[in-house]
Amino acid sequence: MEIEIDLDDPTPVFTQLIAQIKSAVATDMLAPGAPLPSIRQLANELEINSKTVAKAYKLLERDKIVQSKGYRGSFIHTDAKQYCHRDLKQWATDKLTHCIDELKAQGVTDSEIRVAFGNLMNNKR
């Protein structure tokens, strides 16, 4: 897995790191039990502060994406994928809610929204 940090992005670096690790877990690029680079190693590779990586790992551990095994290192939690999907579902719900609110503000009816959504979903399969 290759992580890329965009220093010009207003998103905090630790948030970018978390998002990329979660994405890699959700798309099976990182399997349960897979080792992660050490904090120092990843910080050196990305040329960022080790405290930034430590913060990201700590938050990922809190969210049950990463499991720390002391001196042996950090690994992808066995149930990580289910927790990544929860976040993706919440993100999708938030996006759809925002979109629906915009459509309703423009006068689109609930049934028109349902038909349009159904048509899009049928075409995307």
Tens place of pLDDT per residue across the chain (125 aa): 789 999 999 999 999 999 999 999 999 999 999 999 999 999 999 999 999 999 999 999 999 999 999 889 999 999 999 888 776 678 788 899 999 999 999 999 999 999 999 999 998 65
Largest CA distance in the chain: 59
- Give the pLDDT of residue 83: 86
Residue 88: the pLDDT is: 66
Which residues have a Cβ under 8 Å from the Cβ of 40 and sit 6 or more positions away? 50
pTM over the 0.85 mark: no
- Residue 57 has a CB neighbour count (10 Å cut-off) of 23
Q: What is the pLDDT of residue 124?
A: 64
Read off φ and ψ for residue 66, nearest 5 degrees. -120, 145
